[in-house]
Structure 1
Amino acid sequence: MKYLEEFRDPELARRLLDDIRATVTRPWALMEVCGGQTHTIIRHGIDQLLPEGVELIHGPGCPVCVTPLEVIDKALEIASRPGVIFCSFGDMLRVPGTDRDLFRVRGEGGDVRVVYSPLDALRIAQQNPDREVVFFGIGFETTAPPNAMTVYQARRLGIRNFSLLVSHVRVPPAIEAIMTSPDCRVQGFLAAGHVCSVMGVDEYPELAERHRVPIVVTGFEPLDILEGIRRTVRQLERGEHTVENAYQRAVRPEGNPAAKAMLADVFEVTDRAWRGIGVIPQSGWRLSPRYRDQDAEHRFQVSGITTVEPAECRSGEVLQGLLKPNQCEAFGTTCTPRNPLGATMVSSEGACAAYYLYRRLGLPAAPPPARSLPVVPLEASPVA
């Protein structure tokens, strides 16, 4: 298959669904890790077409959504300072901090600019040598290499007025945290193909073996998702728990060696806080000592900011797969895309945004009770 339409062929989808129905003999709960996959599932109604008993649980795969509140507040503090040009992708501007967002900062006179690449921010720094330029670097393994390359280029070109506010996170430790949670119901994973196109699949076999769960690397079109589900269900029915690559057109087992080398040079692995979840050990990156002077958090001395998540927002439970968006009492009422309580309603990859956009508005008869967060039983440690 070479063309987009072929990855949405209804006849091929029907055959895959028939195969899944013929395979399933008992209930199974699968988690798609990527927010892009969540939007494909909800947009095309894949979860509603699956045989009864096969449940798709939405995971913490939206990079905007898992950016912790304290990092958002650090961004707001830096962006509000005189002489700073704060650059970000557009989907971060409406993510609520404690009492405002980047749009509000811009309305109050802050120089907040939307860019389409971190290299755009680097060019702005070259053009404005008398001002500090900060790029908001968020995301999973997919967006980390270009951000690392930009820091590397700034050092190589001697551009001293450029820095990076880092909030990069890694998928495998998140899977580990999900599987060790006492509330976990996940029996198999659809792994994000774009993450694996960078990092390869080396980190997944140990997870699959230790937790006895199949992990299938999957793409983002409807047929990709259905093929990933088909392979995962087949493994579960056979009692297997291996790693399969169902996205070979983009993912090589070793990943992208050049991108991995750049990550190893510019970043180092560290503990990271995930919004609504808590601190997950070794789940993120920070700039390595060689590049520490380009770390905006250190440059602007904002490491002491602490925050408290709003009690009425249950996005942490959504991100952990413990709650469907329309099971939250605030969904579609006090929380909408125009007036969001949390990032899952704002981001283009957020599960709450997907449910709202594609009109999954109906509430179940008995929404789950509120839970205290963080649910993942991890001991918090400071994020340097």
Structure 2
Amino acid sequence: MKYIDEFNDPELARRLLDEIRATVTRPWALMEVCGGQTHSIIRHGIDQLLPDEVELIHGPGCPVCVTPLDVIDKALEIAARPEVVFCSFGDMLRVPGTGRDLFRVKGEGGDVRVVYSPLDAVDLARKHPDRQVVFFAIGFETTAPANAMAVHQARRLGLANFSLLVSHVRVPPAIEAIMTAPACRVQGFLAAGHVCSVMGTAEYPDLAERHRVPVVVTGFEPLDILEGIRRAVHQLERGEHRVENAYPRAVRDRGNPAAVRMIEEVFEVTDRNWRGIGRIPDSGWRLTDAFRDFDAEHRFDVTGIRTEEPAACRAGEVLQGLIKPTDCAAFGTSCTPRTPLGATMVSSEGACAAYYLYRRMTDSPAPVSSAQEMNPVG
């Protein structure tokens, strides 16, 4: 329990808050990039404890939330095929596609399975050579090494019945898109520590310099986040704009070179659509030509997908940091974890889910029944 205890110390939190209050002299707007950080901020009320001059804007850092609707619909079509075992992490099952979700496909007889690792799906393909096993490979840079390893392992084992449905996205191009958007108010970033633990910090100095914004790499516990805010505010007050690593227990400047090599062997950079945001150049990965035989989109030739987002859902604006979840009229009424209009309400890292679970329509915690709703598949 070492880090759980140390990084939740209320006395240290008060000291950091006091220093932030003593430092800030004007309004500043910071964006936390990761949805895991958003949940920690809302759960612990960090945004309410900060001085009024410091505003936290929730960014598009939930890979489940930004997986585009057309890819969700492709997943639904593939998962419904009788020859397919469709494997996914659990938080994808309730993400709404056009008219249904993976949970419904499973209820209608589709062989949809929750796994804890892509290598579990490889093992299923080895044990069931008569079935086509597909793993839903989504995520930021954090999950890419394991997905790349799964493909690498499947080829080594000669598994012709294993494939990935890939929807990987990359954080630095998303920051670029946010900073060049006309309505951008972001003046500094809290970068995601788990992403940087894989990729390092090499891509961020250029962003910080070109857009003149501080980028502070932070973790996920309350003191991690407060320390990241403290450093960002210090930079802003001094007119500085550089990259700082406030998460050295997990992040090195070079990241994890072995993981990066695995990613570069299996994946190549491509443009990618982000749900609610649109197309961002060079913001994703796809399988290289050498591993194209393991690409589920090519294997199953999923075409003719027609998508339609619910008109009442404002998740795109939430993901861009333009509104808070409670600014959406559907929040907590027609849109709940049991009846979600968008992925931000059902993902374990979604901003709408965080507000529903920890804050609801008021500033009081949600009842226990709400917490139970958040994990409907066990």
Find the counterpart in structure 2 of residue 51 from structure 1.
51
Find the counterpart in structure 2 of residue 169 from structure 1.
169
Contact kept in structure 1, 2:209 and 2:241, CA below 8 Å: yes
Q: Deviations for 1:267-304, whole angstroms, at most 9, x for unmatched residues? A: 00000000000000000000000000100011000144
Find the counterpart in structure 2 of residue 376 from structure 1.
none
Find the counterpart in structure 1 of residue 374 from structure 2.
none
Find the counterpart in structure 2 of residue 189 from structure 1.
189
Find the counterpart in structure 2 of residue 287 from structure 1.
287
What is the identity, as a one-letter code, of the residue corresponding to 2:308? V
Cα distance in 1, alignment partners of residues 137 and 53 from structure 2: 39
Q: Deviations for 1:104-124, whole angstroms, at most 9, x for unmatched residues? A: 101111100011100110111
Cα distance in 2, alignment partners of residues 288 and 159 from structure 1: 18
> What SS class does the counterpart of residue 3 from structure 1 fall into?
helix
- Residue 3 of structure 1 and its aligned partner are, at CA, apart by 2.9
- Residue 308 of structure 1 and its aligned partner are, at CA, apart by 2.5
Cα distance in 2, alignment partners of residues 56 and 84 from structure 1: 43
Q: Deviations for 1:102-144, whole angstroms, at most 9, x for unmatched residues? A: 1110111110001110011011101110110000000000001
Cα distance in 2, alignment partners of residues 48 and 269 from structure 1: 39
Q: Deviations for 1:201-227, whole angstroms, at most 9, x for unmatched residues? A: 000000000000000000000000000
Q: Which runs of 4+ in 1 moved over 4 A?
A: none
Cα distance in 2, alignment partners of residues 71 and 62 from structure 1: 16
What is the identity, as a one-letter code, of the residue corresponding to 1:42? I
- Residue 310 of structure 1 and its aligned partner are, at CA, apart by 1.7
Find the counterpart in structure 1 of residue 266 from structure 2.
266
State the TM-score, normalized to the length of structure 2: 0.95
Matched, 1:90 2:93: no
What is the identity, as a one-letter code, of the residue corresponding to 1:143? T
Find the counterpart in structure 2 of residue 331 from structure 1.
331
Find the counterpart in structure 2 of residue 252 from structure 1.
252
Give the 5 Å matches for 1:184-333: 184-333=184-333
Find the counterpart in structure 2 of residue 39 from structure 1.
39
What is the identity, as a one-letter code, of the residue corresponding to 2:59? G
Cα distance in 1, alignment partners of residues 315 and 24 from structure 2: 31
Cα distance in 2, alignment partners of residues 304 and 237 from structure 1: 52
Find the counterpart in structure 2 of residue 139 from structure 1.
139
State the TM-score, normalized to the length of structure 1: 0.93
What is the identity, as a one-letter code, of the residue corresponding to 1:282? D
Structure 1 runs not aligned, ≥5 long: 364-384
Q: Deviations for 1:79-103, whole angstroms, at most 9, x for unmatched residues? A: 0111100000110000000010011
- Residue 311 of structure 1 and its aligned partner are, at CA, apart by 1.4
- Residue 305 of structure 1 and its aligned partner are, at CA, apart by 1.9
Cα distance in 2, alignment partners of residues 264 and 304 from structure 1: 31
Find the counterpart in structure 1 of residue 366 from structure 2.
none
Cα distance in 1, alignment partners of residues 307 and 276 from structure 2: 12
- Residue 362 of structure 1 and its aligned partner are, at CA, apart by 4.1
Q: Deviations for 1:62-86, whole angstroms, at most 9, x for unmatched residues? A: 1110001100000000001111000
> What SS class does the counterpart of residue 283 from structure 1 fall into?
strand
Find the counterpart in structure 1 of residue 116 from structure 2.
116
Find the counterpart in structure 2 of residue 17 from structure 1.
17
Give the 5 Å matches for 1:152-167: 152-167=152-167
Structure 2 runs not aligned, ≥5 long: 364-378
Contact kept in structure 2, 1:78 and 1:84, CA below 8 Å: yes
Find the counterpart in structure 1 of residue 367 from structure 2.
none
Find the counterpart in structure 1 of residue 5 from structure 2.
5
Find the counterpart in structure 1 of residue 80 from structure 2.
80
> What SS class does the counterpart of residue 8 from structure 1 fall into?
coil
Cα distance in 1, alignment partners of residues 248 and 223 from structure 2: 14
- Residue 359 of structure 1 and its aligned partner are, at CA, apart by 2.1
> What SS class does the counterpart of residue 182 from structure 1 fall into?
coil
Find the counterpart in structure 2 of residue 342 from structure 1.
342
Contact kept in structure 1, 2:332 and 2:360, CA below 8 Å: no
Contact kept in structure 1, 2:29 and 2:187, CA below 8 Å: yes
Find the counterpart in structure 1 of residue 373 from structure 2.
none
The number of equivalent residue pairs is 363
Contact kept in structure 2, 1:33 and 1:192, CA below 8 Å: yes
Q: Deviations for 1:164-199, whole angstroms, at most 9, x for unmatched residues? A: 000000000000000000000000000000000000
> What SS class does the counterpart of residue 311 from structure 2 fall into?
coil
Cα distance in 2, alignment partners of residues 206 and 308 from structure 1: 37
Cα distance in 1, alignment partners of residues 52 and 360 from structure 2: 18
Cα distance in 1, alignment partners of residues 212 and 282 from structure 2: 22
Find the counterpart in structure 1 of residue 102 from structure 2.
102
- Residue 360 of structure 1 and its aligned partner are, at CA, apart by 3.7
Contact kept in structure 2, 1:326 and 1:362, CA below 8 Å: no
Contact kept in structure 2, 1:179 and 1:211, CA below 8 Å: yes
> What SS class does the counterpart of residue 209 from structure 2 fall into?
helix
What is the identity, as a one-letter code, of the residue corresponding to 1:235? Q
Cα distance in 1, alignment partners of residues 306 and 122 from structure 2: 29
Q: Deviations for 1:204-258, whole angstroms, at most 9, x for unmatched residues? A: 0000000000000000000000000000000000000000000000000000000
> What SS class does the counterpart of residue 100 from structure 1 fall into?
coil
Q: Deviations for 1:341-361, whole angstroms, at most 9, x for unmatched residues? A: 000000011000000001241
- Residue 39 of structure 1 and its aligned partner are, at CA, apart by 0.4
Cα distance in 2, alignment partners of residues 107 and 265 from structure 1: 37
